[in-house]
Amino acid sequence: MIRIIFFGTHTLATTVLNELIAAPDFKILAVVTQPDKPVGRGNKVEAPLIKKFAEQHAVPVLQFAKLKEDAVAQLQSLNADLFIVAEYGLLIPTSVLALPSHGVLNVHPSLLPKYRGASPIQSAILNGAEKTGVSIMLLDKEMDHGPILAQEQCVIDDHDITPTLEAKLGRLGAALLARVIPGWVAGKIQGREQDHTQATFCKKLSREDGRIDWTKSAEEIYRMWRAYLPWPGVFTMWNGKRLKLTSLSLKEGGDDGRLTLACGTSAIIIERLQLEGKKELDAEAFLRGYPSFVGSALN
C-alpha cells in the first residue's frame, strides 16, 4: 500500500484525487488545500471544491495559508511515501519537497516544457493550439522545471472551453498518474530532464485580462472567450459601465438579424450579455431594454 498526501484545490485536482481514492493500491492519508475564501458579490466564505469532495470520502483535510514550519511538522508526522500535487495554487518549499521518501509528483495540464506556470489550459486555447496534454513530473525547487516521468497528448476541439478541456485533461492525467505511481515507487521509471531551451511560460490571470481589444480578429476574441470561461470572463466598456459578454459565437452564413459586433477582421455574434449591476440577458432581451446599444462604440 503506497501512502500518499495529496495537494490540490480545484476541479482537475478533484478528478485526480477521485482516481487515487478508487485505486486499491493507494492510501490517501490527507488532502492539503488552501484555506476557505470569500467568493462572489456577497463575500460568502466557501470551502475549496476538493475539501468538500475529500470530506465526502472521509479523507482528512489540512488547510494552510502557507507551508511554514508548523505545516512541515504536521506533514512529516503522517509518514507518507509520496506527495501528489495537482492544481494546488501555492508554492511548495524545499522543506516540504524533502519530506516523502519517493518525492513529490505533479500532474501538470500541458506538454512540458510548454506552458509552465499558472494558466496552461487557458493559454493553450488562447493561442489556438490544436493539441495539449498532461505531464507527470517530479517537482523541484523551480516552477514546473523537474524531470518528466510520463506524458500524454489531448486534442483541443474547436469549441472546447476551459471547463471542457480541463475535464478531459483531468481524466487523462488521473489515469496516467495511477499507472505511473507503482512503477515510480518501485524504481522502474526514470525521469527525463526537460529541454529547458524550449520552455514557455504563462501567467496568473487577472480580472483585467478579460478586457476585449476590438482591433483583434473575431477568431482571437472567440478564443479569448473560450479560454476565460468561467473566470475572468470577457468584457468591454459601454457608456462607462462594464459589459460582460457571457456567450459568443463566430459569425457564419445565415446569421442576419442576430446581434453582431465588428472586430479587427469579420464580426462576432453576441448571444448573452450582462451589464454591470444588472442580470444576464439574451441578446434579444438586452436590445429591447437598451435599443441605443445598436451602433454605439465599445472600448
> Which sign, positive or negative, has the C-alpha torsion 102, 107, 108, 113?
positive
pLDDT of residue 257: 77
Q: How far is CA 77 from the centre of its chain?
A: 31
Measured between alpha carbons, how far is 81 from 61 in angstroms, rounded to an integer? 18
When computed from its CA atoms, the radius of gyration of the chain, rounded to whole angstroms, is: 22
Q: Which amino acid belongs to residue 114?
A: K
pLDDT at 55 over 90: yes
Measured between alpha carbons, how far is 198 from 218 in angstroms, rounded to an integer? 30
What is the number of other CB atoms lying within 10 angstroms of the CB of residue 14? Answer: 22
pLDDT of residue 79: 97
pLDDT at 122 over 80: yes
Please provide residue 102's backbone torsions phi and psi, each rounded to the nearest 5 degrees: -110, 20
Cell of 255: 446569421
User: Mean pLDDT for the chain?
Assistant: 95
Q: What is the mean pLDDT of residues 262-270?
A: 92
pLDDT at 15 over 90: yes
pLDDT band at 254 (very low <50, low <70, confident <90, very high): low
pLDDT at 99 over 90: yes
Structure-model confidence comparison of residues 39 and 130, the more confident one: 130
pTM of the shown model: 0.94
pLDDT band at 41 (very low <50, low <70, confident <90, very high): confident
Q: What does the H/E/C string look like for 172-191?
A: HHHHHHHHHHHHHHCCCCCC
Measured between alpha carbons, how far is 71 from 58 in angstroms, rounded to an integer? 21
Pick left, alpha or beta for residue 279 (phi over 0 → left; psi -120 to 50 → alpha; otherwise beta): beta
